[in-house]
Structure 1
Amino acid sequence: MRKRSRLLPVALVTVLTAASGFFLTVSADAAVPPTPTGWTLAFADDFNGANNTLPSGANWIIDTGTSYPGGPANWGTGEIQSYTNSTANLRQDGTGNLVITPIRNGSSWTSARIETQRSNFTAPAGGVLRIEGRIQMPNVTGAAALGYWPAFWALGAPYRGNWWNWPGIGEFDIMENVNGINAVWGVLHCGVSPGGPCNETTGLGANRACPGSSCQSAFHTYRFEWDRTNENAQQLRWYVDGTQFHTVNQSQVGASWAQMTNHAGYFILLNVAMGGAFPNALAGTGTPTGSTASGVPMRVDYVAVWTRGGGGQPPSSPPPSSPPPSGNRDAYTQIQAESFNAQSGLVNYGAHIGSIGNGNWARYDGVNFGSSTPRDFVARVASGAAGGVSGLVEVRIDSPTAPPIGSFAIANTGGWTSWREVPGNVAAVTGTHSVYLTFTSGQPADFVDVDWFLFRH
């Protein structure tokens, strides 16, 4: 989709709407394509779960409500629905598809939005990142489609826990559509808002009709590529069914390019919003209306991420047994929790560490703080601990028994996949050290999972 704090997208439509009406379709299942020669698979989900089950919690976070906690209202876009984790709005259909269904409830709407657990999808230095999904937009057109806003997109990792740093952290809209128009939009958001190099709040975008069958009546493959083959002339490309329809070059963005690329990477989102600035602008009226049809789903056959060249994008996997070179880690960028050099008592789940309780620890070698001291640290954590169970996430330097230089308390966050970014103060530290995350609790039960942590100036 677009970004949560985009207020008035005004992309021009170059295609005509189809005739009024909506139609039921038969879902189509196609497995994730074989990895092309020269590419490396970094992530894939083909949604092959049982009927009426939620997507994998190991892969996806389910967003709920009308905003991130402390973030812009109505997700920053003016959309009017509330997102839920109900299988009425979000489910696997048992035939290989994820189904996201907006539903009218009296005068209100519910729908669904998910985002990947991982937030480190990035183009390798000297290589290419490819994000792809096979999707059928909601099969509804004309007056019955007013307000429908399906999207497949990616946001820069630093947005998590901040919620107010858009558009500088970057947004790639791989596929978005409004009001049942037979068109796919591809858009880049970056820089500052309003204005800036990406002409916010509109973004740098293009659109075209889907090849062959309309976007609404059939599945189409939507692909985005970030090409770093030439580090001084990088390029972003958008495709539908293998046909390129939009390009943004590094030279168009200037200094804002570094801001949106020099971080841990991106997380991927799928959602169907209802109403908001984009559909309202193209409809010339508020949406949805009394004529808008309820219950027309977006269907997602698969989502996959590949990389090529530059050594490849490493998939989430256990770290190597040998420690990285001294000073290999920057204290002020995200350190993935599963990349520890040693640990005691916890479990590496590939994308995060968990099953953590009192006395457990993880060690991260070669963390370079430089000559300036951090003001605090922040960790992305989740907890499904029982009532009354809590503990401390602590930072220690060079020894798991050294006095902690910082900590924060954590209890149940709503579940083991309900991630929160929690800050804690730290004492002064400079130079390069082994950093220990240690875990202390007065109860024997596990109390926290950790996705990543970093220090802040």
Structure 2
Amino acid sequence: MPTQPPTGARTGRRRLIRRVTAGAAGAVALVASVAVVINANASVPPTPSGWTSVWTDDFVGSANTLPDSANWIIDTGHNYPGGPANWGTGEIQNYTNSTQNVAKDGNGNLRITALRDGSGNWTSARIETQRTNFRPPAGGVMAMEGRIQMPNITGAPALGYWPAFWALGSPYRGNYQNWPSIGEFDIMENVNGINNVHGVLHCGVAPGGPCNEFNGIGANRACPGASCQSAFHTYRFEWDESTSPKQLRWYVDGQQFHTVTQSQVGEPHWTNMTNHAGYFMLLNLAIGGGFPNGVCGCTSPDGGTQPGASMLVDYVTVQTRGGTPPPTTQPPTSPPPTGGGGNAYSRLQAESFNANNGVGTEATTDEGGGQNIGWLANGDWARYDNIDFGSTPATNFQARVASGAGAGISGLLEVRLDSPTATPIGSFAVGNTGGWQTWRTIPANISNVTGKHTVYLTFTSGQPADFLNVNWFTFVH
């Protein structure tokens, strides 16, 4: 496990200090704030020939409504529970789920707005996809793309504004201590209202390592044509497993401006950031922190920073091309199959247990239907026989879970081998996800496992109440 960065360093989109020229830093105070008419929203463009659309949100919906909870998690506060303060970046705003900070605008856009109250406290919003498994098919390419207008504010009033569209490796969710080894792709970042888009890779170890942490391997350029702030632009990231060496590529309006190759990153770092279930995407508008402060050579925001500017997101989409798609598991028939056996790296349906204690099943609304196990409380368990991990060690576990538990009620989902009382090889904590059919995929690191085993999912809580439903689980090399 890499050494943790010092207090105040970033553990999400980390940038302790970005090196800039004096001219670029000085431009913050010299560029005038300009108001323009916002471009009309556009439909999601047709999927390019040869590509397949695997996930899209076009944010169509009534004005002043939240983004679709089936697609997005709204982060709140100043940190993840158990994660570093101020999201590890030094940003100062409080993220909320208020429609004043994050809402559809009724014109096909998502609006994320930074506000300041009379006491000088800033609020804004940050959302992340429910899905954590965005990655290329074997030997293929995956693209993440968004059409976004940065906050339409420049010059001194923009000091401290930090909009971003980015992705984090799935093992970060629920762990928060494994950055940067799990990988981070900053598809679009901008600070202080400067007409520049930054694309950055974070990887390896911190400080230093192959990605020069805490800075990352980055490049930037002005937006083509109209400025980043005055118009929508399309920001795209491609992860290409079909080339040798493999590549990561960044684009704005179809123009490539940054590339990182597998050989630049090297081993084991490339494998560490690519050999897991995939990535989840994030959209946020931060205020203050290491990146804007490093660019201006000051502390941001200040009294001249103007609240009320918004990042607008027309759509976000994920596409794949070529390669071999991963195998899928069909929803089980009823009654569930018995007799055990299964590939640990396939999607194992939770209701297909061979034995259980205290476990019930019910129809699920998640991912094509079928059933989930539920009414899970302290002391319950489910057993799965003859699960084959093969000869390459599994190092990660993921489960699709939901919870409508009341305030203060939470517990652990634990993985044990060959006995329900064996020491867990991995676990994660979960509380209310927003409802008993509001599903999240949560990963956890596990001790290396090979060979065939009886797998137990055990459930531990400090309260007697039900706290968890599980739809499926899987393991990752």
TM-score grouping bracket, smaller chain normalisation = 0.7 to 0.9
Q: Could you tell me whether the CA contact under 8 Å between 2:70 and 2:439 is conserved in 1?
A: no
Range moving further from structure 2, 356-365 or 138-147: 356-365
* 1:413 corresponding residue in structure 2: 432
Q: CA deviation at 1:68?
A: 0.9
Alpha-carbon distance between aligned partners in 2 of 1:242 and 1:409, rounded to the nearest angstrom: 40
CA offsets 1:312-331 (integer angstroms, 9 cap, x no match): 4689x8558799x966324x
Q: Could you tell me whether the CA contact under 8 Å between 2:415 and 2:457 is conserved in 1?
A: yes
* 1:170 corresponding residue in structure 2: 183
* 2:374 corresponding residue in structure 1: 356
Alpha-carbon distance between aligned partners in 1 of 2:69 and 2:226, rounded to the nearest angstrom: 33
* 1:8 corresponding residue in structure 2: 16
* 1:329 corresponding residue in structure 2: 344
* 2:91 corresponding residue in structure 1: 79
Q: Could you tell me whether the CA contact under 8 Å between 1:174 and 1:187 is conserved in 2?
A: yes
Alpha-carbon distance between aligned partners in 2 of 1:86 and 1:418, rounded to the nearest angstrom: 21
Q: CA deviation at 1:433?
A: 4.6
* 1:69 corresponding residue in structure 2: 81
Q: Is 1:196 aligned to residue 209 of structure 2?
A: yes
CA offsets 1:63-114 (integer angstroms, 9 cap, x no match): 1111111111111111011101010100011111011001012221010000
CA offsets 1:284-324 (integer angstroms, 9 cap, x no match): 10001111110100000000000111124689x8558799x
* 1:234 corresponding residue in structure 2: 246
Q: Which amino acid aligns with 1:415?
A: G
Alpha-carbon distance between aligned partners in 2 of 1:372 and 1:309, rounded to the nearest angstrom: 26
Alpha-carbon distance between aligned partners in 1 of 2:80 and 2:31, rounded to the nearest angstrom: 37
* 1:385 corresponding residue in structure 2: 405
Q: Is 1:267 aligned to residue 280 of structure 2?
A: yes
| 1:431-450 alignment runs, 5 A limit | 431-433=451-453, 435=455, 437=457, 447-450=467-470
| 1:60-209 alignment runs, 5 A limit | 60-105=72-117, 106-209=119-222
Q: Could you tell me whether the CA contact under 8 Å between 2:331 and 2:368 is conserved in 1?
A: no
* 2:362 corresponding residue in structure 1: 345
Q: CA deviation at 1:418?
A: 8.7
Alpha-carbon distance between aligned partners in 1 of 2:395 and 2:202, rounded to the nearest angstrom: 30
Name the SS of the counterpart of 1:52 in structure 2: coil
* 2:53 corresponding residue in structure 1: 41
Q: Which amino acid aligns with 2:316?
A: V
Q: Is 1:54 aligned to residue 66 of structure 2?
A: yes
Q: CA deviation at 1:39?
A: 1.3
Q: Which amino acid aligns with 1:190?
A: C
Q: CA deviation at 1:23?
A: 2.5
Alpha-carbon distance between aligned partners in 2 of 1:356 and 1:211, rounded to the nearest angstrom: 52
* 2:237 corresponding residue in structure 1: 224
**Structure-2 change in CA distance of 1:377 and 1:29 (3 Å):** closer
Q: CA deviation at 1:198?
A: 0.7
Q: CA deviation at 1:254?
A: 0.6
Q: Could you tell me whether the CA contact under 8 Å between 1:111 and 1:273 is conserved in 2?
A: yes
Name the SS of the counterpart of 1:300 in structure 2: strand
**Structure-2 change in CA distance of 1:327 and 1:186 (3 Å):** same
Percentage of pairs with the same residue: 59
TM-score (norm 1): 0.83
Q: Could you tell me whether the CA contact under 8 Å between 2:163 and 2:191 is conserved in 1?
A: yes
Alpha-carbon distance between aligned partners in 2 of 1:250 and 1:257, rounded to the nearest angstrom: 6
Aligned pair count reads 444
Alpha-carbon distance between aligned partners in 2 of 1:35 and 1:425, rounded to the nearest angstrom: 38
Q: Could you tell me whether the CA contact under 8 Å between 1:40 and 1:312 is conserved in 2?
A: no
Q: Could you tell me whether the CA contact under 8 Å between 2:373 and 2:471 is conserved in 1?
A: no
CA offsets 1:429-453 (integer angstroms, 9 cap, x no match): 9732564658899x99974233765
Alpha-carbon distance between aligned partners in 1 of 2:61 and 2:374, rounded to the nearest angstrom: 28
TM-score (norm 2): 0.80
